[in-house]
Structure formats: structure tokens, C-alpha cells
């Protein structure tokens, strides 16, 4: 009989967590597993990329509780007061005080989910995949019937608003906790040492052959630029660090480098970055290409790939870029040194304008270094499918 797996996520927006999920389920044998994706909201660019044999479900009334979960309660209470909803304001004030005194965000979730029934179907394994998102962790524990439960962690817990009190209480209810990098695992163990035996590393699934095959499916650059093309892929947001690009690009141009920097991705910081590029007078060489379901043609055709993130859990776009043997420069976020060997398969710098500038200049000016990096990347086999054995091991014990 097939084992039933459920993965719970926020939505299917075009992001690293969602791409990692799709990569994983593409490799899970359907003869042995029936897969369900449960979303808080049924939307996102990657909805169309979900295989047709995967069950898709969503929380139908999530819109009724979304503000309660995502808006700071004291601000929500004030908003209710302004709207004349005095009783709602009173209730939220009481819940806010209650959660603050008890230091337990689970009390909020208990309140907002009081009218939500348990899901009807029972699963062999239920996975809080979009972690650490406390609401999804709570929902998997309290509202899903499952024989085993797994918590997934995709981010550097020291760089986000990680609720240690909540995690200490609720992560203990999971049978396994997977973190997407070894360094990330060590950080979680350091914060919650009592859960050490439940915590393990599970690298994001990536098939080098599939990525390379997709790079031939669509068009890449079409602007006929003859200089050095630098590429960055990622959501336009503070944590992804594209604000570092503009001053570095300006400095490169001032030093005579014939470069153009392209960014694949959309996000809330887009207008800010466009304004910044105008202020630095590099708007003609700072190219925002927008969101691309298939960024791989650009990875294949660029001259240098740069990942300027402030923080990551395990950067899947960095792993994808490694498939194309182009010189890589990355900031020193969690998991970077697990993917890049300094001056062998790329350069690692701090999130610093001058360090990034000098790293790029060294790749442009030192063709020998660029060739060594490309040559070493060609020797690598990037295939993390064996990580799935950790999931299969849990399923086999049920």
C-alpha cells in the first residue's frame, strides 16, 4: 500500500523553498507514495509546475484569519478601534496580553483555529515544510492526523525572527526536524540543545542533468551586449542583498570595467533598486529581467554568477548556478562554504561593497583564476537525490 505524504506550505510563489519542494517530489516514486501539497493560500507562479498526479489542497477560510496571524496584535487592536469594532479590539487585546504573559504564541493559534476542524484524511507523514513558520508547525501538530510528523527548516534561524519559546515547546512534538544545511543544523542545535537527537541535515534536492536540460528550453539574454555579463537570481528583497549590487556596479564602471549586471526576480524592493540605480547613474547597466520560471538559460550564458544574500538556509540558486561551470562569487551566508570552496569553485566574501568589488575585479582581470574555478566546477557532480533516503527511512518504519 502506498504511503501518504503531506507537505504543508504557505503558497507556491516563485521562491527557493517552493522550488526545493518541487525538486523533491519530482524524485519521489509514485508507486510507493501518494503526495499531497496543502497550502494556506492557493496561488503562486509555481502552481502550474505541480505535477498532475499530486493532490493539491488549501485552507479554504484562511483569508478570515490571515490578519490575525500576520499583523502584530497590538496594531490590529488599534485598527479595530479606528474601524469602530470595539468588541474585536477588546478580544485581540486580551489575546495579545495572554500570549505576552505566557510567552506562548501557540495560544494565539489556538484562538484563531478554534472553529477549524481536523482534516478528515489521515497521513503517514505530515510535513511542516515552510519552516520555520510557527503557524504551519502548529497546524500540522494540532489539525492534521498523521503517524509521523516532520518539521523542515529552510532559513538561518539567527537571521530571522525565530521564536525560541514556541520552537522549544512545539518542535518536541515532531518526530524529526530537518535543516537544509549542516551549518544551519548546528545553529538550531545550539539554540535548542534538548532536541539534538531529533535534528538532522537534509540538503535541498537538485538534479544537475535536469537543470542543464531546462537551460536549453527557453531564450536567455537578447540585448547583444558584448561585455561581461554578471547575473544574480532571487527575489528582490532585503535578505537577498541586491542593494549591494548597485554601488559595486558603479565602482566597477568607474574603474573601466565593461560590465552589465542582470537580476532575475521580482519583489517589493524593485522600485527602491530602480531609484538607487538612477542615483548611482548605472540604470542602463543594472537590468531587472523580472520573474522567470526558467532562469537557467541566463545562468548558462552569463560570465559571472553572484549571490549577494544577507542570509540563506541553503541557497538553491547558488546550487543551480554551480551546474553551469561559470565563476561564482557569493557572500558568506549560512551554507555558502558547504557549496563553494574558496578559490577552487568560487569566491566567498562578506556582505561588503569593497570585498565584492575586488572579488569581481579579480575574476575579470585574472583569467587564470576564472579558468581554475570553471575547471573545478566541471569536475563536480551536483546530485543530492540520496538525501531522500532519510525520508524513506522514516516512512519504512511506519
| 201 and 240 housed in the same domain | no
Residue 88, pLDDT > 80, answer no
Alpha-carbon span 72 to 96, nearest angstrom: 9
pLDDT (mean) for 96-107: 70
Q: Which CATH number belongs to the domain containing residue 174 in this structure?
A: 3.40.50.2000
| 225 and 263 housed in the same domain | yes
- Which among 167, 116, 158, 137 is positioned nearest to 313, based on CA atoms? 158
User: What SS3 string covers 306-324?
Assistant: EECCCCCCCCHHHHHHHHH
pTM summary value:
0.90
Percent of the chain with pLDDT over 70: 95
| 277 and 355 housed in the same domain | yes
The tens digit of pLDDT for each residue in 145-173 reads 999 999 999 999 998 888 898 999 999 99
Residue 242: which pLDDT band, with cuts at 50, 70 and 90?
Answer: very high
Q: Considering 115, 130, 155, which residue would you say is the last residue of a domain?
A: 115
> How many structural domains are present in the chain?
3
**Structural domain boundaries, residue 176:** 3-59+117-205+386-396
Alpha-helical regions (H) of the chain: 16-27, 62-70, 73-82, 86-102, 106-112, 134-143, 164-170, 182-191, 208-214, 245-254, 270-279, 296-301, 316-321, 336-339, 353-365, 367-379, 388-396
Q: Which residue has the cell 494565539?
A: 108
Q: Which residue has the cell 506550505?
A: 9
Which phi and psi (to 5°) does residue 364 adopt?
Answer: -70, -45
| 80 and 39 housed in the same domain | no
pLDDT of residue 150: 98
C-alpha cell at 235: 527575489
| 167 and 241 housed in the same domain | no
The tens digit of pLDDT for each residue in 204-233 reads 999 888 899 999 999 999 999 999 999 999
Out of 101-110, 121-130, 243-252, 344-353, least confident range: 101-110
| 308 and 228 housed in the same domain | yes
Is 150:173 a contact under the CB 8 Å cutoff?
A: no
Residue 79: which pLDDT band, with cuts at 50, 70 and 90?
Answer: confident
| 235 and 310 housed in the same domain | yes
C-alpha cell at 340: 563553494
| 196 and 277 housed in the same domain | no
| 390 and 258 housed in the same domain | no
ω into residue 132 within 30 of 0, thus cis? Answer: yes
| 200 and 79 housed in the same domain | no
- Which among 224, 227, 182 is positioned nearest to 203, based on CA atoms? 182
| 185 and 37 housed in the same domain | yes
Amino acid at each position: 500500500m502506498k504511503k501518504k505524504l503531506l507537505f504543508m506550505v504557505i503558497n507556491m510563489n516563485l521562491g527557493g523553498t517552493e522550488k526545493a519542494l518541487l525538486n523533491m517530489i519530482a524524485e519521489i516514486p509514485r508507486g510507493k507514495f501518494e503526495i499531497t501539497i496543502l497550502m494556506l493560500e492557493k496561488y503562486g507562479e509555481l502552481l502550474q509546475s505541480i505535477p498532475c498526479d499530486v493532490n493539491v489542497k488549501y485552507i479554504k477560510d484562511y483569508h478570515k484569519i490571515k490578519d490575525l496571524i500576520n499583523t502584530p496584535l497590538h496594531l490590529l487592536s488599534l485598527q479595530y478601534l479606528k474601524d469602530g469594532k470595539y468588541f474585536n479590539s477588546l478580544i485581540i487585546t486580551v489575546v495579545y496580553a495572554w500570549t505576552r504573559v505566557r510567552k506562548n504564541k501557540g495560544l494565539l493559534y489556538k484562538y484563531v483555529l478554534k472553529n477549524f476542524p481536523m482534516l478528515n484524511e489521515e497521513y503517514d507523514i505530515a510535513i511542516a515544510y515552510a519552516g520555520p513558520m510557527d503557524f504551519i508547525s502548529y497546524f500540522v501538530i494540532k489539525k492534521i492526523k498523521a503517524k509521523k510528523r516532520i518539521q523542515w527548516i529552510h532559513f538561518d534561524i539567527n537571521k530571522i525572527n525565530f521564536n525560541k519559546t514556541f520552537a522549544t515547546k512545539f518542535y518536541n512534538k515532531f518526530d524529526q526536524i530537518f535543516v537544509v544545511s549542516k551549518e544551519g543544523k548546528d545553529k538550531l542545535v545550539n539554540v535548542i540543545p534538548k532536541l539534538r537527537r531529533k535534528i538532522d541535515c537534509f540538503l535541498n534536492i537538485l538534479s544537475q542533468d535536469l537543470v542543464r536540460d531546462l537551460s536549453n528550453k527557453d531564450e536567455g539574454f537578447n540585448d547583444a551586449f558584448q561585455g561581461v555579463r554578471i547575473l544574480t537570481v532571487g527575489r528582490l528583497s532585503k535578505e537577498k542583498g541586491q542593494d549591494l549590487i548597485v554601488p559595486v556596479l558603479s565602482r566597477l564602471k568607474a574603474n573601466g570595467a565593461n560590465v552589465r549586471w542582470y537580476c532575475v526576480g521580482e519583489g517589493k524592493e524593485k522600485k527602491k533598486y530602480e531609484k538607487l540605480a538612477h542615483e548611482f547613474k548605472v540604470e542602463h547597466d543594472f537590468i531587472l529581467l523580472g520573474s522567470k520560471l526558467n532562469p537557467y538559460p541566463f545562468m548558462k550564458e552569463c560570465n559571472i554568477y553572484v549571490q549577494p544574500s544577507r542570509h540563506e538556509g541553503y541557497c538553491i540558486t547558488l546550487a543551480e548556478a554551480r551546474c553551469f561551470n561559470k565563476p561564482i562569487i557569493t557572500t558568506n551566508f549560512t551554507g555558502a562554504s558547504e557549496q563553494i570552496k574558496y578559490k577552487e569553485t568560487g569566491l566567498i566574501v562578506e556582505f561588503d561593497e569593497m570585498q565584492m568589488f575586488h572579488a569581481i575585479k579579480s575574476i575579470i582581470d585574472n583569467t587564470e583564476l576564472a579558468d581554475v574555478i570553471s575547471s573545478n566546477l566541471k569536475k563536480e557532480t551536483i546530485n543530492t537525490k540520496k538525501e531522500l533516503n532519510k525520508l524513506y527511512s522514516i516512512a519504512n518504519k511506519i
